[in-house]
Structure 1
Amino acid sequence: MHPTDQPLAGKVALVAGATRGAGRAIAVELGRSGAQVYCTGRSTRGNPSDYDRPETIEGTAERVTDAGGTGIAVAVDHTDIWQVKALITRIEEEHGRLDILVNDIGGEPYVKFEIPLWQYPFEQGMKLFNTGFTTHLITSHCALGLLTRSPEALIVEVTDGTRRYNASHYRSTVFLDITKTAVDRLAFAQGHEVAPHGGTAVCVSPGWLRSEMMLDAFEVTEDTWRQAAEANRGTQDAVPPYEFVISETPAMLARGIAALAADPHRSQWNTQSLSSFDLAQHYGVTDTDGSQPDSWSFITAMETQPAEELDVTAYRQPHQRPGPAASS
């Protein structure tokens, strides 16, 4: 492999929440670019988390190594500050540096939709908040001392929804709304603190992510999802809903983040909110099928026009944006 094919060779990355979905894909793409990637999470072989899923951090680390990087699986509960401190100490002892931090823990299995605050089971709501936000805060708190020693440190906070979209849209429940917007604000705040050290912090959001969990929830596969969604055009409460046609694999976001990490001018994005589509357009990357799904524009357009009347192909074409910008 030519050295230019691995622009992150020699870099050390930590992907918190690398077990599955976007976190797994991001870890793999960073590895493909040559990085050494610590892949953390709670699900290990023989000891799954309460998500009760088959994916494991060992499986992710193996994919990172197969892609050309070095994958290192470490079982960590990021709600436990002492476990996170031990992780950062290990990284410092083994490498003496940390260049890239990706906070991708989301807590989606703890979401209960359309339930008002006074009826929401408080313990479950706080579990969502602590898993989806406090983990990010703890990990950054522990990692930034080491990370800011790198002259080109990058922090990526992964959330659901761009800053512009979330600013004008209520996200179904108080706990979900606050969790996802707090992650974005954390990126904004961190950007101000790391900038004097040469660092960059951004918040990123995929569109409608076709993760392993989402495919299973809709009882479709990567081979059948499009046909199943198309078959439900104009049908109310169908599974999967027709608008699933705008979904994307975790690869598009991951490719965009890897390109961002390799960009010597990444500081132009400091404190900003970016969608997977924003990154894809700027860096010229695509999803696995060669398209660039613009989910947030499609979702916004659905507010004034039925999804089945929208030309979904126009929202999947590279270098086209039929709706308003969804970032910033």
Structure 2
Amino acid sequence: MNKPLQGKIALVAGGTRGAGRGIAVELGAAGATVYVTGRTTRSQLSEYQRRETIEETAELVNEAGGVGIPVQVDHLQPEQVKGLAEKIEREQGRLDILVNDIWGGENLVEWEVPVWQHSLENGLRMMRLAIDTHLITSHYLLPLVIRNKNGLVVEMTDGTAAYNQDHYRLSLYYDLVKTSVIRMAWGLAKELAPYQCSAVALTPGWLRSEIMLEHFGVTEENWRDGAAKDPHFLISESPHFVGRAVAALAQDDNKARWNGQSLSSGELAQIYGFTDIDGSKPNCFAYLIEVVEAGKQENAAAYR
């Protein structure tokens, strides 16, 4: 089998579930060795109190053809992240791909609640989980990335720069978090360019994460049944789709052309030619603007 990332070392920070899990698995499918970090293990749950674990993600990486290495890390704890960097340096001597997918705010967001009514504690916790974690991770891991040319940093967010500029994300804290991560990628691109490494911000479309599937009362096998609750759910994508976007970026010898840019899985699928697991190429953000906001009836097939 073709393994274009054979010998490459990746870290998916926040790879327990959702997009992080999809990215880790697809990097593994391309042959990479993938360190998977998160707080939830088979012996210890995080504040999420969910069943997905970093060990499960690592096993899925192995099944896909890569090498998965789970490491329990709370990325808000600098000493733990420093220990992670030392472990990767000791075991591999470098890091080729860093994916900052740490989030953790689903249970903290209060949608369409003004900032003076939103829980201050939850809002500030969300900011720490989504911004401080990324900064701490970059501080300790980027010295490993810049050791070799053509390294890649992917800052995972929700929404492209263009979309978020024109759309309020229904919570001031959430809006700030997702916009800040895009700006973070832009700033990292400036700092990494002299070392011939690149940073991008990347967003999935409507992601069928484990939490989203549960919300719609479906599984990945019958996800289309979620259209009964919202017909526009038919534009959604599996976590593998954004995972294949990261794998495509990592394989691109000319990835520097994207340095500092804000990208989406749907946009990159048109350029690199990868598909979701059903063979389609969902272009979520075009659909949101041209169909949902235009008040048109569901027409997801035309955007897949």
Q: Residue deviations 1:222-252, cap 9 Å, x none?
A: 23321331x3xxxxxxxx3221111110111
Match of 1:118 in 2: 116
Question: Which sits farther off after the overlay, 216-225 or 94-103?
Answer: 216-225
- Whole-Å Cα distance in 2 between the matches of residues 158 and 286 of structure 1? 19
Alignment check: 8 A CA contact 2:216 2:226 kept: no
- Whole-Å Cα distance in 1 between the matches of residues 156 and 226 of structure 2? 28
Match of 1:326 in 2: none
Match of 1:247 in 2: 236
State the AA in 2 paired with 1:113: W
- Whole-Å Cα distance in 1 between the matches of residues 65 and 45 of structure 2? 27
Match of 1:314 in 2: 302
1:11 Cα offset (Å): 1.0
Alignment check: 8 A CA contact 1:257 1:279 kept: no
State the AA in 2 paired with 1:274: L
Alignment check: 8 A CA contact 1:42 1:77 kept: yes
- Whole-Å Cα distance in 2 between the matches of residues 33 and 304 of structure 1? 37
- Whole-Å Cα distance in 1 between the matches of residues 218 and 44 of structure 2? 26
- Whole-Å Cα distance in 2 between the matches of residues 44 and 204 of structure 1? 26
- Whole-Å Cα distance in 2 between the matches of residues 228 and 66 of structure 1? 29
Q: Residue deviations 1:52-83, cap 9 Å, x none?
A: 11110000111111111110000000011111
State the AA in 1 paired with 2:92: H
Q: State the identity as a percent.
A: 52
- Whole-Å Cα distance in 1 between the matches of residues 131 and 35 of structure 2? 20
Match of 2:107 in 1: 109
Match of 1:180 in 2: 178
Mapped pair 1:11 → 2:14? no
Match of 1:235 in 2: none
Aligned-residue RMSD, C-alpha: 1.2
Q: Residue deviations 1:240-296, cap 9 Å, x none?
A: 322111111011111111011011011110000100011111110011111111111
State the AA in 1 paired with 2:88: I
Match of 2:53 in 1: 56
- Whole-Å Cα distance in 2 between the matches of residues 24 and 138 of structure 1? 21
1:94 Cα offset (Å): 0.9
Bigger relative contact order, structure 1 or 2 (CA pairs below 8 A, ≥6 apart): 2
- Whole-Å Cα distance in 1 between the matches of residues 215 and 225 of structure 2? 16
Mapped pair 1:70 → 2:58? no
Superposed, 1:133-148 pairs within 5 Å as 133-148=131-146
Alignment check: 8 A CA contact 2:226 2:233 kept: no
State the AA in 1 paired with 2:176: I
- Whole-Å Cα distance in 1 between the matches of residues 112 and 281 of structure 2? 30
Question: Which sits farther off after the overlay, 298-307 or 40-49?
Answer: 298-307
- Whole-Å Cα distance in 1 between the matches of residues 128 and 291 of structure 2? 32
State the AA in 2 paired with 1:69: G
Query: What is the DSSP-based 3-state SS (H/G/I as helix, E as strand, rest coil) of the residue aligned with 1:201?
Result: strand
Mapped pair 1:94 → 2:83? no
1:310 Cα offset (Å): 4.1
- Whole-Å Cα distance in 1 between the matches of residues 138 and 115 of structure 2? 28
Give the number of aligned pairs. Answer: 303
Alignment check: 8 A CA contact 1:191 1:270 kept: yes
State the AA in 1 paired with 2:29: R
Q: Residue deviations 1:26-71, cap 9 Å, x none?
A: 1111111111110000000021111111110000111111111110
Q: Are the structure 2 counterparts of residues 110 and 153 from structure 1 closer, same or farther at C-alpha, using a change threshold of 3 Å?
A: same
TM-score between the two structures when normalised by the length of structure 2: 0.97
Mapped pair 1:290 → 2:282? no
Query: What is the DSSP-based 3-state SS (H/G/I as helix, E as strand, rest coil) of the residue aligned with 1:110?
Result: coil
Match of 1:166 in 2: 164
- Whole-Å Cα distance in 1 between the matches of residues 293 and 47 of structure 2? 39
- Whole-Å Cα distance in 2 between the matches of residues 179 and 147 of structure 1? 24
- Whole-Å Cα distance in 2 between the matches of residues 151 and 223 of structure 1? 41
Query: What is the DSSP-based 3-state SS (H/G/I as helix, E as strand, rest coil) of the residue aligned with 2:194?
Result: helix
- Whole-Å Cα distance in 1 between the matches of residues 222 and 56 of structure 2? 24
Query: What is the DSSP-based 3-state SS (H/G/I as helix, E as strand, rest coil) of the residue aligned with 2:132?
Result: helix
Alignment check: 8 A CA contact 2:127 2:173 kept: yes
Alignment check: 8 A CA contact 2:291 2:299 kept: no
Query: What is the DSSP-based 3-state SS (H/G/I as helix, E as strand, rest coil) of the residue aligned with 1:19?
Result: coil
Query: What is the DSSP-based 3-state SS (H/G/I as helix, E as strand, rest coil) of the residue aligned with 2:275?
Result: coil
